[in-house]
Amino acid sequence: MNHRSGWFLLLSYSVLFGLVVNAATAAEIFWPTPDSRFFEGESVDVMLQPTASGRLESALFGCVRNGGRRFHEGLDLKPLRRDRSGEASDPIYSVMAGRVSYVNAKAGNSSYGRYVVVEHLDADVPVYTLYAHLASIEPGIRAGSRVEAGQRLGTMGRSAGGYSIPRSRAHLHFEIGLVKTSDFDDWYRQQSYGSRNLHGNYNGINMIGSNPLTFFETVRAGEFEDFSSYFANLPTAFTVRVATRTLPDFILRYPKLLTRPIPRDGVAGWDIDYTWYGLPKRWTPLTEEDVRTRREGDVTLVSWDESVFEGQCRATLVFDSKGNPSIGKNLKSDLKLMFGF
């Protein structure tokens, strides 16, 4: 199977030449590099580019760096091809049709190096995908450009800001996820970071990655229907209740994450289901009767599942250093960012 033999989403499935076809929508999902072995049934292990540790898991999503203490928000894929000087030369492709939302062409401006963000506005939940450490970006790939599934975005490389990636470990860092707020720059200016936000809404602080491998495995198994179902079926690690009348722009941009319609007389709060790594995957609007006497901005931990957190380094979202249930610093920061309080 070559790269152009992408996988197709489905409403009713039929298999043709090893492809899953959705005759109704013909929407395509591609692997982001020319290495098609994953969609041919091979383990992703043969495609991973680990860190200097050599541990394959260091290329995966999750608590895979620094002995499990450091979180990695994407999937690192090694090249199939190199030029005469030994540099990676693989083309990098958009995994779905969408609109280029951001291009960082100056490598030194970000730890991502040169990177491109595409938002997939045709999806029921318009997720972003991010393609980082590029050696170059294709002419015509600029903010606002329409791209098709499988369209070339750039060339794999090892660009980075603030550190060096050796030639031998050139790779694509790939992410898929959601943007927390469309007002990030305003929020950023109120913080004490000591540096300018060079990337608008597409700063890494404002992006919540989801596990790319889980997504691709769901597609390969023929089980992917749409993103709202996909996110809903991810394990719920914890649920928080936020007492607020605010309708955040997050839910205006991702209304398919709602479990029920907004009450006619407005919201009095939200129950938000999270994955273990902090993606707010399912939102239930609450009435006055649900929230009762809570004050504006109160946050309560409604439930948690310790088994989902097992072995993960982001348990501090809802557990303190002694393992007691607690609203952690990172969770508080995300809620303030999304709700504006």
Alpha-carbon gap, residue 14 to 75, rounded angstroms: 29
Residue type, 149: A
Structural domains in the chain?
A: 30-220 (2.70.70.10), 234-339 (no CATH)
Specify the pTM: 0.91
CA 283 to chain centre: 18
C-beta atoms surrounding 288 within 10 Å: 15
CA distance 302 to 133: 40
- Is the pLDDT reported for residue 24 higher than 70? no
Q: Compute the average pLDDT of residues 193-200.
A: 91
Residue 5 binned pLDDT confidence (cut-offs 50, 70, 90): very low
Question: Which of the four pLDDT bands, split at 50, 70 and 90, describes residue 314?
Answer: low
Dihedral-angle region of residue 284 (phi above 0 means left; psi in -120 to 50 means alpha; beta otherwise): beta
CA distance 206 to 278: 12
pLDDT value of residue 21 = 29
Amino acid at 326: S
Mean pLDDT (the chain, rounded): 88
The 10s digit of each residue's pLDDT in 165-191 is 999 999 999 999 999 999 999 999 988
Whole-angstrom distance, CA of residue 200 vs CA of residue 184? 7
Overall average pLDDT of the 53-63 stretch: 90
pLDDT at 38 over 60: yes
Q: CA–CA separation, 55 vs 151, rounded Å?
A: 31
Contacts of 68 (CB under 8 A, 6+ apart): 311, 313
- Tens of pLDDT, residue by residue over 204-239, are 999 999 999 999 999 999 999 999 999 999 999 999
Give yes or no for a contact between 199 and 102, defined as CB atoms under 8 angstroms apart.
yes
CA distances (Å), origin 40, targets 1, 17, 69, 81: 7, 11, 33, 19
Rounded CA separation 68/62 (Å): 8
Question: What are the DSSP calls for 89-156, one per residue?
Answer: --EEE-SS-EEEEEEE--GGG-TT-EEEEEE-TTSSS--EEEEEEESEE-TT--TT-EE-TT-EEEE-
3 state DSSP class of 259 = coil
Q: Which residue has the higher pLDDT, 21 or 5?
A: 5
Q: Distance (Å, rounded) from C-alpha 47 to C-alpha 59?
A: 10
Residue 127 confidence (pLDDT): 98
Closest Cα partner for 279 from 331, 322, 321? 331
With 90 as the cut, is the pLDDT of residue 137 above it?
A: yes
Question: Residue 90: its pLDDT value, please?
Answer: 98
The structure tokens listed for 70 are 């450091």
Torsion angles phi and psi, residue 52, rounded to 5: -60, -20
